[in-house]
Amino acid sequence: MTPVTEHDDILELGGARLHSRLFIGTGKFGDDALIPAVCAASGAQVITMALRRVDLDAGPANLMAHIPAHMVRLPNTSGARNADEAVRIARLARAMGCGDWIKIEVVSDSRHLLPDGYATARATETLAREGFVVLPYMNPDLYVARSLADAGAAAVMPLGAPIGTNRGLRTREMIAILVEELDLPVIVDAGIGKPSQACEAMEMGAAACLVNTAIATAGDPVAMGRAFGQAVAAGRAAFLAGPGAERRRASASSPLTGFLGEAGAGAGGAVPGEAQP
C-alpha cells in the first residue's frame, strides 16, 4: 500500500481542492478584525457566514470585508425556519455574489436549536437542482443523511453536540455510523469545544470539521485557531496511518521471556546473550 502524504491528501468538494480540513465560522468574535489572523493561523480555506450578517453597503463594517480573498465562502441560511426560507436565503446569497456554496440550516426549535431534517432535505433537493453546492447541517441520523444524499447534497454536516455548547462529540456513535455507511464526506459541525475533540472526529474518519464558537470565544482566538488547525491535521494523519486494534485485556509491549533467574538464564542469573562482566 502506497503511503498517503499530506500533499496527496486533498479533500475535493464542490470543484475545490482543499488542503486544510478545518472549516471555520465568523460568528461570536469580539472583533471581526480578528478574522484574517484566525484564517492565517488556522490554515483553513473554507469559512461560513450567516447571510443575515452580510451588509454590502456597510463599508469597512461589512463582515465580508474581513474575509480574505483566497477563502472559499460558505454562506449559511441561519435564521431560516422552513425549507422555503432556506431556499430564499440561498438564492439571495448567490445574487449578492457569495458563490454557489451554501450551508443549509433550518431551525424552527428556538430552545435546543436542533436542525429540521425533513425541511433540510426539501431545501437541499431544490438548491442542488439549481446548481448549488449544498452542505446541509443535520442531526446525525442515518435515514436523514441518506435522504440528503439522494437530494443531491455534496456532503453532510452532523452536529457533535447542540450548537454553541462546546461540549464535544456527544453524538460520537451516530457520527461513526454515518462515516461507515455514507459515500459522501462527513463534516462534523457544531459542539466541538476543544482541539482534542476535533482530532478525535478526524481519527474516526470524518472528512473535515467546522469550528466556530470554540475559536471565536477563546481567550486568544488566533492561537486557538492555530491549535485547531494542527489538531485536525493530526487526527487526519492518524486516520490515514490506521490506528492499532483495541483489546479488552492487557498485552505486553515486549515478549514475556528472558527475565532474571528464569530457567535457561546464564551463570549469575544473566539473560542469555547479555554481555558478561
Q: Which residues are catalytic?
A: 103
Question: What residues does 24 pair with on adjacent strands?
Answer: 47, 211
**Which residue bears the cell 481519527?**
203
How many residues are listed for the chain in this entry? Answer: 277
**Residues 120, 194, 32, 15, Cα dihedral to 10°:** -50
Q: Give the CA radius of gyration of the chain.
A: 23
* Cα separation values, 95 from 40, 51, 144, Å: 28, 12, 29
**Which residue bears the cell 500500500?**
1
* Residue 208 backbone dihedrals phi, psi, to 5 degrees: -170, 170
Distance, C-alpha 110 to centroid of its chain? 24
Q: Which residues contact 91 (CB under 8 A, 6 or more apart)?
A: 130
Helix 83-95 and helix 117-129, axial crossing angle in degrees, nearest 10: 40
Instruction: Give the torsion sign (CA, 223, 224, 226, 227).
Output: positive
**For the residues of 162-227, what is the DSSP string, one character each?**
STT-----TTHHHHHHHHHH-SS-BEEES---SHHHHHHHHHTT-SEEEE-HHHHTSSSHHHHHHH
Q: Report d(CA 233, CA 213) in Å as an integer.
A: 19
